[in-house]
Structure 1
Amino acid sequence: MNPSPPHPHPHPLPPCAAGIGLRAEHHAALLEQQPRVDFVEVHSENYFGRGGPPLHWLRRARELCALSLHGVGLSIGSVDPLRADHLRHLRELIDEVQPALVSEHLSWSCVDGLYANDLLPLPFTREALAHVVARVQQVQEALGRPLLLENLSSYLRFEADEMPEWAFVAEVARRSGCGLLLDVNNLYVSARNHGFDPADYLAALPPEAVAQYHLAGFTHRRFDDGAEILIDTHSRHVSDDVWALYAQVLRQLGPRPTLIEWDADLPPLPTLVAEAHHAAALMEEHAHACCPA
């Protein structure tokens, strides 16, 4: 990477921090408008290049507020070996921009070197649990810092499952020492698709492991036979039902840095900022915590 002035090691984000996912379409608007947000989050892999416009914009954003790096390509649940070049690029990016948080998805994407353009769910078995724990520990050692893992939205279950998702996620955190990124929209989508109670999921999570929340929008898909499925599209406002579940999460687990994700049909930047401010207001209302202005 091109030399640049080093950033100080970041202080942890305050519990009530509210941020937005930063996409390339909003790079210029962020610098021009300088909205009141506590942090922005980017997809790590988009900034692996050595220099160039993407890293330039990221450095400029880092001057305005804290950063969070969110990966989509590590494939931590795959049986393929972890890619040393991926881990090296991620470690270089972390050293360069000093993000407050680093996260990935509890999923897999590749087999025999072939990548699916998706985040695929894991079977919730003891074998998969041991495999993921070992991989997480390997990643954390390579990065020199804790990793947060995000729960997926899912549309199927495996017959081989030996435990519910919430038990699997909680055990990964306990055994590996990683943190958890609780995506509230994904929790809502999966609960509706599979018919479980989100309260059971929340009750199983070790509160001390939960370090961040995500909020996003979903879409409905209805089939000719009347069946319905919710799809995590990140293409619209956070729904009223997800806001209500978020309030329940705050009551049970307390405030954590919260991010608004929006990846398709992007609105103007102020729309994202307004959603982040709403999340901050809910954190103050339900968690009774002091948040920075």
Structure 2
Amino acid sequence: MADLTSLIGALGGEFLPGTVVLAGAGCGDVGSLTLDVLALLRRCDALVYDALVDESVLALANPGARRIAMGKRAGGQSAHQDEINLCLATLAGEGLRVLRLKGGDPGVFGRGGEEAAFLLTRGIDCRWLPGVSAALGCGAAAMIPLTHRGLSRSVTLITGRQIGGDASRHWQQSLALGSTLVFYMGVAQAAAIAASLKLAGADGALHCALVRDGGRPGQRLEFCCLDELATSARNLGGDGPCLIMVGEVCAIGEELTALRAGLGRLSATEVAHG
């Protein structure tokens, strides 16, 4: 244990007073937290965190650190981005070592670029530490490969919050290539997503999966086809973060899940089939 403590203490890189580190807490609970981020959690003077950061992660922070919750959860009450930017700058201006902790990865729908630009243009040094993004974390937790030989050679990450209008034209090339489509924050737009994909030429039988609370003990997983996506989204239940995956790789995930169920190994995961 002493060796592990020494190792963690040496990780994370330079963390000077008056600087900010934008870090990813990963997808799910503490299991996907990187050692670099853990090291800075223990050393930070101020912790500014999103609503998606699991309590098991927050519990590892320096007990003396100032903690500030800053929302940013789809469909819920959120702090305005300008308010977050100003908070980070103010804390750094007080000479604190500020850790800005985001669910997933700061560079994947995490507005890390906006926050970094705000700080750097004001002379406040900042850098990033990566986290396990939801596509990777949920894919692994649900045993859905993002790529698979003969089925998918690419992955497209899409924000589901702005689906609408003639979105179908954006998906035509990805569908033609057999790319796996991963929609973040899209469960409320499931009907629009399905409609747009079908307008782009997708078959209604195309395999899909929804992963609610991916990587957490209460994870819920539902497999369905594109025609059933909106209904499955309504029936999924819960209010935690939900990822939508579309592509033939979801059929591989469903097969692997069925094999694990046959071994009696799915007690911690609720699985439904559309």
TM-score of the aligned structures, taking structure 1 as reference length: 0.28
Higher relative contact order, structure no. (Cα contacts within 8 Å, ≥ 6 residues apart): 1
Larger radius of gyration: 2
Higher share of residues assigned helix: 1
